[in-house]
Structure 1
Amino acid sequence: MYKISALEKIINDSIQNLSFEKSPNTLFEPIRYILSLGAKRVRPVFTLLAANLFSEEVDHAISPALAIEIFHNFSLLHDDLMDRADLRRGHATVHTKWNENTAILSGDAMLIEAFLQIAKVSSERLSQTFDLFSKTALEVCRGQQYDMDFETRTDVSEDEYIEMVRLKTAVLIACALKIGALVSGAPEIDADLLYRFGINIGIAFQLRDDLLDVYGDSKTFGKKIGGDIVCNKKTFLLIKALEKANNSQRKELEKWFNDADSDSDAKIEAVRNIYDALHLKTVSENIIEQYYLMAMDCFSSIDVPDWRKSELLTMAENLMYREK
């Protein structure tokens, strides 16, 4: 069985060894840049961990794991552009370091490269894997569109938010796990359990990310705290605030939403003070725990000895209690 650190090294070495066309450098340099920014490699490591549940070796799962990681970074590149974000993992975003057109085109090239990596899956597993990856790619786009649509609404429900998170974040984690199982010949029932495990872990992961965006430390989080507040993103915290706020608090929230010229630091502080008054940090931590427990229910049903699942369990726990 592989340790998480060994799998991280396999992924990092494989990314470093990726061969892109040499010209034009202006297309491929931003790709190399974003793939080098010290990512945690959560999704591709999940792919290899899932493969290792059913196979002693993981070489056959490296290409689909790379596809997952390249696609994920493609989505971040475009997401940063749409959000006008300045930092990613503590470094300048691609559209800031280069320009918006470069971010769009380099992102497009990354998407194509992701599908080229998926195409390397063995022929007997390719159709099933390709179909899942393609379905997931479209779901992530749907989730991103919902996220943008929600920015102009004040009536987003908790259920709508969870569905957006499922599509934007959780399905890619679930896909990473299921593909790892599929390429290792896992029984369908176990591959499906891993997918459901990934959905619940993914939702908990995004809820945690939303919480850290308000209450995290920018030095460890890798980007400016409060970005979601500045962009009027309808996170779980904001949705619950609108649900629980009294008239005075709701009017203040709406004032900050509608003031496009407001000072961002003042806005972050004011909105966070309302969250504190409504004890929303605790509320958010409780729902994160609920999704984690649902994930563990799926995890315990996977028909693999517990000792083989220990590294995957560690990975899940690291996500739950992360600070960045």
Structure 2
Amino acid sequence: MFQELVHAKAFQDYLETTSFPKTPQHLYDPIRYILSLAGKRIRPLLVLMGAELFDESTVEHALPASAAIEFFHNFSLIHDDIMDVAPLRRGKPTVHQKWDANVAILSGDALLIKAYQELAKCPIDKIPALLQLFNTTSLEVCEGQQYDMDFEGRAHVGEAEYIDMIRLKTSVLLGCALQMGAIIAGAEEPSQTLLYDFGVNLGVAFQLQDDILDVYGNPESFGKQIGGDILSNKKTILFVKLQELISPDDQSELTYLLRQTIDTEPEKIEKMMNLYAKYDIQTLAIYQKEKFTTIAYEKLENIPVEDYKKQALFSLADALMHRVR
């Protein structure tokens, strides 16, 4: 935990040296705004932790790459919020709500360009490998977002499809962050791959945990409305597993609930939870989460460095997988 705080301070100090022009205001003010709404900034920290795992003297050299990851992540959030017509981001108005969609699109584009400017500051001999990984990951994130939108218009989504979607939309960026740090530290390619796979599998488990917490989390600590995914008919691991197992007799109840809102059916969340309970969906979802968590830990264990160097990543992973919100 102490080392995580050290990295967080180093990243924040570096970020404060990255200035954005004052004008045009409608281009750069939204960028400053979205960056001010940052949460735990896990992704940039992973870049630094990935470098430290192999060579702690390279952590400072990894700071531009950590900024690139953070800029890309926030660029994707700005554009995702437009597509989702989301009114809030981290409890504050989204960029397109505070300004408008045109401003949000252009500011997001500028933030993506700033990400590439940061990558150009990385050690010159590492830039080709960093660019190849970053570009591949960026395209995969776009593919994941498209699959997510496609699923909204589909009646049925398979479990394998859902897992692949969250892998692309969310998890590959965690793997990318870790591997970028490993590249800068000069790690061998097999070790880079193990670290990347650790991040991807942890990311899948993290999203599955989020799906579970949305329904079964503590309302006082979850940080958002319990059952929000149910109210929006979102295809989560719980919903996908229910579709897979539901009997013809209960299908009519599910079809009915999907057509209702909280206004037309005040007990929509409770009735959907009753269906989940009937088919023991929570247990099945937890099993999937634990499966990917186990795979992630095995990948980290197999990296050929001293165990004490891995402790910070194990601790971070453990904290993420045992969070209550």
Q: TM-score, normalised by structure 1?
A: 0.93
Contact 2:175–2:196 at 8 Å: present in 1 too? yes
Partner of 2:186: 185
Counterpart Cα distance in 1 of 2:68 and 2:290: 30
Classify 1:13/1:250 alpha carbon distance in 2 versus 1 (closer, same or farther; 3 Å). Answer: farther
Counterpart Cα distance in 2 of 1:309 and 1:260: 47
User: Where in structure 2 are the equivalents of 1:1-324 lying within 5 Å?
Assistant: 3-57=3-57, 58-217=59-218, 220-259=221-260, 266-324=267-325
Counterpart Cα distance in 1 of 2:79 and 2:14: 23
The residue identity in structure 2 corresponding to 1:206 is: Q
Residues 256-315 of structure 1 show CA distances to partners (whole Å, capped at 9, x for unaligned) of 334579658654443333223333222211211110111111111101101111111111
SS in structure 1 at match of 2:56: coil
Shift in Å at residue 254 of structure 1? Answer: 2.1
Contact 2:231–2:262 at 8 Å: present in 1 too? no
Counterpart Cα distance in 1 of 2:9 and 2:220: 24
Counterpart Cα distance in 2 of 1:68 and 1:102: 22
Number of equivalenced pairs: 324
Shift in Å at residue 82 of structure 1? Answer: 1.8
SS in structure 2 at match of 1:154: coil
Counterpart Cα distance in 1 of 2:265 and 2:18: 40
Counterpart Cα distance in 1 of 2:289 and 2:52: 27
The residue identity in structure 2 corresponding to 1:154 is: A
SS in structure 2 at match of 1:3: helix
Counterpart Cα distance in 2 of 1:93 and 1:248: 42
Identity of aligned residues (%): 48
Shift in Å at residue 3 of structure 1? Answer: 0.4
Shift in Å at residue 14 of structure 1? Answer: 2.4
The residue identity in structure 2 corresponding to 1:91 is: K
Give RMSD over aligned pairs: 2.1
Shift in Å at residue 101 of structure 1? Answer: 2.3
The residue identity in structure 1 corresponding to 2:75 is: F
Contact 2:231–2:261 at 8 Å: present in 1 too? no
Contact 1:214–1:226 at 8 Å: present in 2 too? yes
- Give ranges in structure 2 of 5+ residues lacking alignment: none
- Give ranges in structure 1 of 5+ residues lacking alignment: none
Contact 1:43–1:65 at 8 Å: present in 2 too? yes
Contact 2:204–2:292 at 8 Å: present in 1 too? yes
Q: TM-score, normalised by structure 2?
A: 0.92
